[in-house]
Structure 1
Amino acid sequence: MKKINLVIGTGINESGGIATVLSVFENEKFFKNQNIKLIRTHTHDHTFWGAKRFIIFLMALIKLLFCTLFYQVGVVHIHLSSRGSFTRKSVIIRMCKWMSLRTVLHLHGSEFVEFYEKESSLNKQKRIRSVFSNCDRVVVLSQSWKRWVDGIVDDPRKVVVIYNTVSRVKLIKDNVEPRSILFLGRLGKRKGVYDLISACEMIKEKVPDFKLILAGDGDIDAFRKIAKEKRVIDNIEFTGWVSGQDKLDLLARAQIYTLPSYNEGFPMGILEAMSVGMPIVGSRVGGIPEAVESGKEGLLVEAGDISGLASALISLLSNPEMSYELGMQAKKKFDENFSPEVIMPKFEELYSCVINKE
């Protein structure tokens, strides 16, 4: 029988962190090199009142069974976040255990702690612990996440940290727009967008001609209204969701990247910005402090500290030399710690260990 590995997750062309990670795997030829078949379990398409979603999930279960019958499956690599994603993947993990398949659970959800501690009953928490413990390995995105997951699995030795990575891009930042700030992601409270717009009031007092580029979906009209109320609408550009060349153009154009989130895993946007030499202004949550050391690759503030966020952004907007130096340090750290050349071999080693039961 032909040997294959399976990856279970959303479609590569969907939006969101898991889709972005899977697209990197494909771009870096990890799927090809590891003889991987991708089984899609989910779509954001609500066509026919969600019936399409149900059909895609049902087909995923059938494909999993088919692959088990007609191939020699080495590893089933399951990408999981919270809520609906957990519900779907828990069914798949139980199927894998029933069929004696070796499994890697890859945790992405930045809100998983909240899902576990505040939204789940005691019985559901027990089920979550069982699902995690039934896997051969659990991949988390940062040391801070490992400390938490260690407390819900039967054997903390199975929990491993492998950082996210992004594919390298050929980008020449020779036409950077001075005093420009870029945000990439869904516009909402969790990502700190309310705080960011509030900080713009203070920034405008010190740097009147700054520009904030909010590139993402969400309730754009609501944020436009807030920006008008705070009289900073002329300083903010709403682009909507961007990808591909449009995103690269923004990364080439902007001076600073910001992500003042309230919770995160290991943000792909920060890695993309670091890879092209942009300084980061972010919050001390999730894996961000492991990517960015404040004062070295960027500046970090506490989540919700609007004054601190404004001050950090003003510092870099007003000091292009410092901004450039932090950006170069960010690129160096990406190259040495988070590049595909560093990260992808860790997944190859992980697969080998799971297959050989090490």
Structure 2
Amino acid sequence: MKPKILFIMHIPPPVNGAALVGQYIKNSKIINKDIDSDYINLTASFSLEKIGKGGYNKIKIILSILKKVFTSLKANDYDLCYMTLTAKGAGFYKDFLIVLLLKLFRVKAIYHFHNKGVSKSSQKWFNNFLYKITFKNTKCILLAPSLYKDIQRYVPEENVFFCPNGIPKLQTKDEITKIENSVITPCKFLFLSNMMEEKGVLELLKACSILKKEGYPFNCDFIGAWSDITEDVFMHTIHSLSLENNVTFHGKKYNQDKVEFFETSDVFVFPTYYHNECFPLVLLEAMQFGLPIISTPEGAIEEIVLNNATGLIIEQQNVDALAKAMKFMLKNPSIRKQYGLAGKKRFQENFTLDIFEKKISFILKNTLK
């Protein structure tokens, strides 16, 4: 008889890292092969603009989720519950209600974190009390060892699994364009993420302005969904910095629609300082296409991008450091190619969807034992 597992996790929309991973798990033949799976969508905000905000409709959605969880637990004898637990804030309080149901029905739980903030949030006595209840007799999946410090107060290391995210391979030409080392042609930079201020959008525009003033030939493409950076703010900034001929916004692009941009770009730039950033899937996509990366030491990024090996890690919110890194990449096409090849090899060895699915399958089987 197959073990029965209840998956409570985020599924798109909106499109973000946790939701995409949830979709991969739900569709995985490897993970679902030897288990009897039930799935409940944990998402209460179906657009980027509504994440973190309340309202009557969200309360109705949360009550509906709680009802589905209660009904499933009452009707089935689950061997395990896999849950993508939110680390802090209103999302954690919502998830804690589900945790109480799991405790009530005495279902073994394993939490998969795609964000962070437990350590800081636990400084408040009430949150500390809730975390003690939440983590008692449970196991956790973290995206990288560097993130363990966030929950070490509550979970011994022997109850923690480390599993980096993986992504499906997009169709590529499977070759890196030959670069003439002797000629500096306009370097093409690419930013692809939700258009949030904390993703470093404005810092990147300011760095582009520095490159333009110093006369460097370059283009920078922006791809993503509008968020707290609106179209008006973005276009106004471009005009104020006189970047109309260097910067282009292309809107949202998903799946194969992104391929053209990855294949025709030279460097991927992701200067994030987003407080919830843990393991950005977009960096894996850039590595898959052999792009060198400029990013920051947020979350587990330094365990994805190896500084001076597959890209450059710079200080957050430091426009001068960002511009300096961009100029280095622009002036050294041979090093760009070297970093890109090393990154592509690192992706193939560590971050494919097949590797991720096998690790999650192993973790679930191990936890069931």
1:73 alignment partner in structure 2? 78
Asked if structure 2 preserves the Cα contact closer than 8 Å seen for 1:173 and 1:253, the reply is: no
SS of 2:164's equivalent in the other structure is: coil
Moved more, 248-257 or 25-34: 25-34
Supply the distance in 1 between the matched residues of 2:260 and 2:167 (Cα, whole angstroms).
16
Alignment partner, residue 195 of structure 1? 203
1:3-31 deviation per Cα after TM superposition (whole angstroms, max 9, x unaligned) = 43222122333222211111222454355
Query: Which residue of the partner structure matches residue 39 of structure 2?
Result: 38
| Alpha-carbon contact 1:97-1:134 (below 8 Å) kept | no
1:127 aligns with 2:140: no
Which residue of 2 is the match for residue 242 of structure 1? 253
Gaps of 5+ in 2: 178-184
Where does residue 84 of structure 1 map in the other structure?
90
Distance 1:234 1:116, change over 3 A: farther
When residues 84 and 246 of structure 1 are mapped into structure 2, their CA distance, relative to the original with a 3 A threshold, is farther
Structure 1 residue 103 and structure 2 residue 104: aligned? no
Is 1:209 the counterpart of 2:217 in the alignment?
Answer: yes
- Aligned partner of 1:313 in structure 2 is 326
Q: Measure, in 1, the Cα distance between the counterparts of 2:255 and 2:295.
A: 24
Q: What's the offset of the Cα at 1:35? A: 3.5
Shift of residue 213, structure 1, vs aligned partner = 1.5
Quick one: distance in 2 between partners of 1:257 and 1:40?
A: 32
**How far apart, in 2, do the equivalents of 1:197 and 1:169 lie?**
28
| Matches of 1:90 and 1:135, distance apart in 2 | 15
Instruction: Report the Cα offset of residue 166 of structure 1.
Output: 0.8
Equivalences for residues 1-358 of structure 1 within 5 A: 3-30=3-30, 32-33=32-33, 34-45=35-46, 50-81=55-86, 82-110=88-116, 112=117, 116=121, 121-131=124-134, 133-134=135-136, 136-150=138-152, 152-172=153-173, 179-206=187-214, 208-216=216-224, 217-218=226-227, 219-220=229-230, 221-262=232-273, 263=275, 264-356=277-369
For 2:292 and 2:28, how far apart are their aligned partners in 1? 25
SS at match of 1:157: helix
TM-score, length of structure 1 as denominator length: 0.88
Q: CA deviation at 1:173?
A: 6.5
Task: Give the AA of the match of 2:264.
Answer: R
* Cα offset, 1:122, TM superposition: 2.6
The alpha carbon displacement at 1:101 in A equals: 0.7
Cα distance in 2 for partners of 1:108, 1:135 equals 20
- Relative to 1, partners in 2 of residues 1:256 and 1:27: Cα closer, same or farther, differing over 3 Å? farther
Write the distance in 2 (CA, Å) between the matches of 1:327 and 1:280. 8
Q: Alpha-carbon deviation of 1:255? A: 1.6
The alignment partner of 1:8 has SS state of strand
Cα distance between partner residues in 1 of 2:96 and 2:246: 45
Q: Tell me if structure 1 keeps the 8 A contact 2:11–2:20.
A: no
Question: Contact between 1:28 and 1:340, CA under 8 Å: does it hold in 2?
Answer: no
Amino acid at match of 1:286: G
Which secondary structure state, in structure 2, belongs to the residue aligned with residue 80 of structure 1? coil
Between 164-173 and 191-200, the greater mean CA deviation after superposition: 164-173
Structure 1 residues 141 and 175 mapped into 2: Cα distance closer, same or farther (>3 Å)?
A: closer
Q: In the alignment, is the contact (CA less than 8 A) between 1:42 and 1:53 conserved in 2?
A: no
Are the counterparts in 1 of residues 207 and 322 from structure 2 also a CA contact under 8 Å? Answer: yes
What letter is aligned with 1:240? G
What's the offset of the Cα at 1:193?
A: 1.5
Of 344-353 and 34-43, deviating more is 34-43
1:232 partner amino acid? L
C-alpha contact (below 8 Å) 2:110/2:138 kept by paired residues: yes
Residues 50 and 75 of structure 1, relative CA distance in 2, 3 Å threshold: same
> How many angstroms does 1:223 deviate by?
2.3
User: Would the aligned equivalents of 1:279 and 1:326 in 2 still touch at CA under 8 Å?
Assistant: yes
Distance 2:200 2:8 in 1: 30
Given that 1:180 and 1:211 are in contact with CA atoms closer than 8 Å, whether structure 2 keeps it comes out as: yes
- Contact 1:293–1:299 (CA under 8 A) maintained in structure 2: yes
Task: Report the count of equivalent residues.
Answer: 350
